Structure 1
Amino acid sequence: MSEVNRPMSGKEIASLVQESYPDLIGGMTPWKTVGARLASDIKGNPDSIFVRAGRGSYALKEWEDVPQFTVKPRKVNPLEENILVVPRPEFLPFLPQDSGHYLRTVSLKTIMHHSVTMRRLDAEKTDKFVQLIPSFIIFKSDEVLSYKRTKKSPESRLHETHSIIFGGHLQEEDNPTLFQEDPEIMTDFIFRELYEELTFSDPIRNHSFCGILYLQKTKFERQHAGIVFAIEIGDDTNVASGEPGYHSNLEFLNWDEIEDSSVMQDTWSNQCIQHLKQSDQSHE
């Protein structure tokens, strides 16, 4: 962008990169990955050097004469989204047969490499594919953020339930095919969902991958796998919902007393809490 000295589209950037570094970019739609990478950095990195100059157009923040463009939240029906799934016969062998742990240690690179795109409406009709769900647990010192799901959630069985897990489906553009060798960049793509659901007054301090949460007793459980991250924020950091229509009653709960709270009735929250409590004990 500095060399061209003007805003550029993802296609233009991808084309110039291919000219200078022909072995760096592959795939059928490299401009989508470039655009998704820039969008993720703009939204999730307070120190990003990039800004949006228009829909699908990007500029350098140092260009003060370029007005910044804000993308309005999508109004798409969630069931019409194209999401990332893994065929279940391919997914199951990735899981260590370790019954002593609630979350399984699995290579994110391996999971993403085997993911394919599928319309969510079609994925919900079968358990032959596992839908990938980035799942974030927010810690502030010895407290953890909780919320109550509203009736606007597309899953009626979850209405009015409490949880500590924020997140949603990985979408088609969240698979960084150009950057799968770089775990930091791949994590940035996965974190898109975090920054859609929550806003932070300060950057997060730290994050750690906890593992893959996958249960199989019911069809719904067999259809979904949580990619679970623990997020640490500062004591003075304010958190707000980016989707207030879906979250209510945001509050921090004491971690030592979490097992007495209503979030334990949520299966995924329960499993994650037990796993993290078990990890805490093993490190004492």
Structure 2
Amino acid sequence: MKEKVWVIDNEILNDINFYNGFTIVEQNILEKIFNNAYFIDREIAEKDESTKQIIPYVVIKNKKNKILVVQRTKKQTEKRLHNLYSVGIGGHINPIDKNKNSELTFYNGLNRELNEELYIDELKSLEYVGLILDDSTEVSRVHLGVLFIAYVTNVNIKEKENFKELWLNETEFKDFNGEFEGWSKIALRALEVI
């Protein structure tokens, strides 16, 4: 069976101004995005630049104030992102996440993705940060990120074959020489880490 993913038409974003790939929008704009989302085949969504796949993108911060950084291995499914570093955990919203309330559809997907990828000891809080929209690459042109920070006591990666992990504090980011994927660069700028 083909995977279906949650998308919105680009025109829904026409009135939103992004600066360097990032913006903060009010709750009513998020609701508009979620209320206008629908499911299509991922195979179509990956090539259709008239829509954006909605992706929860969660930065994980532990009690030592360090941020989880993962490097995508060659066993990870998205070949276009192999070997790049990321500070975001997340993924596609699928029909399994569907709820009558579209906002709950989004949060069901966010929770599922976190639980698929991480063992979380304690999630203290989840804080909305803003939206990521980056038209600079083939991958990013068909996705819209909804950026959050999750404050946790501790987490571990479940998919160790897909991701290598390390934890960095803000000072260590300044000296880090790995190549971050585009969304991570945008997220780190929005969080004023780099």
SS of equivalent residue, structure 1 residue 121: helix
Q: Please report the TM-score for the alignment, with normalisation by the length of structure 2.
A: 0.86
- Unaligned 5+ residue runs, structure 2? none
Richer in helix (by share) = 1
The correspondence for 1:168, drawn from 61, 74, 91, is 91
Structure 1 position 251, deviation (Å): 1.6
Map of 1:111 onto structure 2? 33
RMSD: 2.4
Q: Which residue of 2 aligns with 1:143?
A: 66
Confirm whether residue 228 of structure 1 aligns to residue 113 of structure 2.
Answer: no
Q: Is the 8 A contact 1:214 1:226 kept in 2?
A: yes
Assess, with a 3 A threshold, how the Cα gap between structure 1 residues 83 and 186 changes in structure 2: closer, same or farther.
closer
**Which residue does the alignment assign to 1:253?**
168
Q: Which one of the candidate residues 82, 90, 105 is aligned to 2:12?
A: 90
Q: How does 1:5-20 map to 2 (within 5 A)?
A: none
Per-residue deviation at 1:203?
2.0
- 1:32-181 aligned within 5 A: 80-93=2-15, 95=16, 97-99=17-19, 102-106=22-26, 107-140=29-62, 141-177=64-100, 179-180=101-102
Are residues 1:203 and 2:122 paired? yes
> CA offsets, 1:117-170, max 9 Å, x none?
111011112211101111111001321011111112222221111111111111
Structure-2 change in CA distance of 1:126 and 1:101 (3 Å)? closer
TM-score (norm 1): 0.61
Largest Rg, 1 or 2: 1
Q: After TM superposition, give the deviation of residue 264 of structure 1 in Å.
A: 5.5
Residue 275, structure 1, aligned to residue 151, structure 2: no
1:241 lines up with 2:157 in the alignment: yes
Q: List 4+ stretches of structure 1 deviating above 6 A.
A: none
Work out the number of aligned pairs and report it: 191
Distance 1:230 1:110 in 2: 22
Relative to structure 2, which stretch is displaced further, 103-112 or 163-172? Answer: 103-112
